[in-house]
Amino acid sequence: DAKTTQPNSMESNEEEPVHLPCNHSTISGTDYIHWYRQLPSQGPEYVIHGLTSNVNNRMASLAIAEDRKSSTLILHRATLRDAAVYYCILMYNAGNMLTFGGGTRLMVKP
Amino acid sequence: DVKVTQSSRYLVKRTGEKVFLECVQDMDHENMFWYRQDPGLGLRLIYFSYDVKMKEKGDIPEGYSVSREKKERFSLILESASTNQTSMYLCASSLTASGTVRFGPGTRLTVL
């Protein structure tokens, strides 16, 4: 199974951009890169996903390396409500498995 | 607002009891999942289902079974609850294998 590697924790100041990295060196050609986040006492929520091209939505941007072995989730202006654990996940196109790694705990300072 | 709902937020059961955790989604999703989340271990997949009456084992199926009689409902069953099954249980669903996944709020189960 393709796995992901993320830093355990990161800190950011409020209103500043945040770049959350993820390494997935064993990714296969049909794996989608998904990002979810989990706020305290809640289930994970979808943030963004992509296959090869960079993606933008109202929550964040996803930058995918050309060789797809790494990606970066970008929060353009961190708020206190963005403090959460962020999971980078590979979703297998041919199957239904969705396996989570340890995630990155993002702390946002006012 | 589309959602995944779980029957209980908190549940306390005794060792040896049969426990049912219910999950319902209103998005007509094909795939449904059950995870447990423990400190330091992250989310681990117990079972998933890609269609009615279909089920597949995840990473940690021992001690659990599942039922999917209707598309919108996926039940997790602990045949004989044990203290090491005390955990947060999360249900999720997705339309396709590569689609986005929606999670429920979780059920915190304590087995005494």
pLDDT in tens, A54-94: 999 998 999 999 999 999 999 999 999 999 999 998 877 55
Tokens of A23: 């390494």
pLDDT in tens, A18-37: 999 999 998 888 888 999 99
What is the pLDDT at residue B98? 64
What is the pLDDT at residue B106? 94
pLDDT band at B89 (very low <50, low <70, confident <90, very high): very high
Q: Side-chain half-sphere of B85: how many Cα atoms within 13 Å? A: 28
Q: Output B19 or A27, whichever has higher pLDDT.
A: B19
Q: How far is CA B60 from CA A29, B36, B45, B47, B85, in A?
A: 27, 9, 6, 8, 11
What is the pLDDT at residue A94? 52
CA-nearest residue of chain B to A36?
B101
Q: Does B50 touch chain A (CB under 8 A)?
A: yes
* Nearest-10 Cα torsion for B69, B62, A36, B33: -10
Residues of chain A with Cβ-Cβ distance to B4 below 8 Å are 43
Q: Which has the closest alpha carbon to B6: B109, B106, B111?
A: B106
**Is residue B87's pLDDT more than 70?**
yes
**Is residue B70's pLDDT more than 90?**
yes
Is there a contact between A98 and B90 if contact means CB atoms under 8 Å apart?
no
- Least CB–CB distance from B45: residue in A32, A45, A99: A99
Q: How far is CA B94 from CA A56, A59, B58, B77, in A?
A: 21, 20, 16, 21
